[in-house]
Amino acid sequence: MTLQFLGATEQVTGSKYLLETDGFRILVDCGFDMEVRNQEEFQHPFNFNPKTLDAVLLTHAHIDHSGLIPLLVKEGFTGTVYCTYATYQLSRILLFDAARINLRRSRKKKTPNFYGPREAQESLDYFRPIGFEQPYSLSDSLSFYFRQAGHLLGAAHIVVQAEEKTIVFSGDIGRPAYPLLPDPEPIPAADFIVSETTYGMRVHEDKNAEKVIGDTIRKSCVEIPGRLIIPSFSIGRTQTLLFLLNKLRVAGKLPPIKIFTDSPLAQKSTQVYQDFVDFMNKEAQEFNSRHGSLFDFDNLIYISDMNSAEEIDRYNEPCIIITSSGMVKGGKSEDHIMRNLENSYCTILFIGYCAEGTLGRRLLDGMATFRQFGEEYKVNARILSTDVLSGHSDYNDLLNFFKTQNKHRLKKVFLVHGDKEAMENFKGSLEHNGFDNVVIPKLGQRFELAEETSLNFRA
């Protein structure tokens, strides 16, 4: 049995792990890499033959975990994509959006067109949803089940039983007491764990999310009567934000200003969240029973118009604009932000992680000027960030993720899906806590799981 690391190695995006066992070739996640280092990697995102794969196990719908599934099908994959029901519904929306962004990017920047809406549609025929905690056997010695990860609606840890070993793929690990979502479930004692490390060296701000958002709105839209732009992933983060705004409204703490949700897929994904209210935490279910809806309220306007950035630009009253993508790479957030960078009445609030190479990261790093149509302009907008809405476990939660483990049984821990510094830090902490076989795999590195040795890797 071997496990090969084909993405999210020493970086956050592009999750892909190839497990070969009992004659099966299984890919865990098939994510889009937003941090590609060269053209070769960008043009050929698979360093394996998709035709030889039997199955994909999908942890959750986010594009950095699912975004290359249509390309996989386009290049000959004929197996099955297993995921939870909510992940299937969210992927239906998200893969179409990815196709649209692909097309736009390939036309604009003359980059490869990975897939279009037709391929996205075709790929959905290969999905097979399964409930949480329902073991599914691929053979006598190979089975898996999904366990609640609390990171996004439908997000799962995947527990694989193969050749009498237990291998846990963490997926993205959520946070306890997060709005809307149930807490992540503890994982069983394992032989091997592949764990994310996004916040491997950071502890989240110990602040009330509702208060942080409420205070920012007051300062950005009332004290300075301006506009607040919140770049946000359309799926997950936007629903969390809308739920908090709804709670603020119910508490009488939301000023009567317009809230534009400008993302073609935010409305659809909000509907999926509403449909799956029975899978949410107790607070969300009680709120829904009392108020009839989680997300619907006055002054909230969903926009699906192509030229929305231009139109909202002409709206001169204080307002909140929630727009994707959260990292400001592609999507409408780039249009909104570029139009407002020079506007000193504008505040831009980042509520999520921004990868290297994105406009979001450059702004967070203090970018002072920008160029447009050959002219240089000053960044006058206020740039703020908060991680109170992060859907990822922080350093302490990540350590907690390992608390159910038997250190004598656990043979190896593989750290992925994090910046190198975060991984190194978390590796040190695990070792300090008595986990002595922790590795940070390189891209392409393959491990023999029975023998616990590294076979080879592509530099």
Residues that bind Zn ion (CB under 5 A): 62, 172
Q: C-alpha distances in angstroms, 234 versus 42, 109, 156, 394?
A: 24, 24, 19, 22
Supply the minimum distance, in Å, between the C-beta of residue 185 and Zn ion. 17
Q: Which amino acid is at 6?
A: L
Cβ-proximal residues to 83 (8 Å cutoff; 6+ apart), any chain: 57, 58, 59, 60, 61, 91, 127, 128, 129, 130, 146, 154, 156
Question: Which two tokens mark 365?
Answer: 């790093």
Supply the minimum distance, in Å, between the C-beta of residue 172 and Zn ion. 4
Q: How many residues does the chain have?
A: 459
Q: For Zn ion, give the closer residue by CB, 231 or 318.
A: 231
Q: Give the residue among 167, 80, 166, 165 at the shortest CA–CA distance from 130.
A: 80
Q: For Zn ion, give the closer residue by CB, 247 or 392.
A: 392
Supply the minimum distance, in Å, between the C-beta of residue 152 and Zn ion. 6
Q: For Zn ion, give the closer residue by CB, 62 or 74.
A: 62
Q: For Zn ion, give the closer residue by CB, 13 or 270.
A: 13
Q: Which amino acid is at 240?
A: T
Supply the minimum distance, in Å, between the C-beta of residue 62 and Zn ion. 4
> In angstroms, rounded to a whole number, what is the distance separating the alpha carbons of residues 97 and 233?
12
Supply the minimum distance, in Å, between the C-beta of residue 29 and Zn ion. 10
Q: For Zn ion, give the closer residue by CB, 172 or 334.
A: 172
Q: For Zn ion, give the closer residue by CB, 127 or 260.
A: 127
Q: For Zn ion, give the closer residue by CB, 62 or 329.
A: 62
Q: For Zn ion, give the closer residue by CB, 63 or 346.
A: 63
Q: Give the residue among 191, 155, 189, 192 at the shortest CA–CA distance from 172.
A: 155
The strand pairing partners of 454, in sequence order, are 447
Q: For Zn ion, give the closer residue by CB, 155 or 167.
A: 155
Nearest 10 degrees: Cα torsion 431, 436, 441, 445? 170
Supply the minimum distance, in Å, between the C-beta of residue 83 and Zn ion. 13
Supply the minimum distance, in Å, between the C-beta of residue 72 and Zn ion. 19
Supply the minimum distance, in Å, between the C-beta of residue 393 and Zn ion. 11
Supply the minimum distance, in Å, between the C-beta of residue 69 and Zn ion. 15
Question: Which two tokens mark 167?
Answer: 């291998």
> In angstroms, rounded to a whole number, what is the distance separating the alpha carbons of residues 348 and 364?
10
* 314 φ/ψ sector (left φ>0, alpha ψ -120 to 50, else beta): alpha
Cβ-proximal residues to 348 (8 Å cutoff; 6+ apart), any chain: 228, 229, 230, 231, 337, 340, 363, 381, 382, 383, 384
- 3-state SS assignment for residue 51: helix
> In angstroms, rounded to a whole number, what is the distance separating the alpha carbons of residues 167 and 21?
12
Supply the minimum distance, in Å, between the C-beta of residue 7 and Zn ion. 14
Question: Which two tokens mark 40?
Answer: 């070769």
Q: Give the residue among 390, 399, 402, 387 at the shortest CA–CA distance from 426.
A: 399
Nearest residue by C-beta to Zn ion? 62
Q: For Zn ion, give the closer residue by CB, 87 or 220.
A: 87
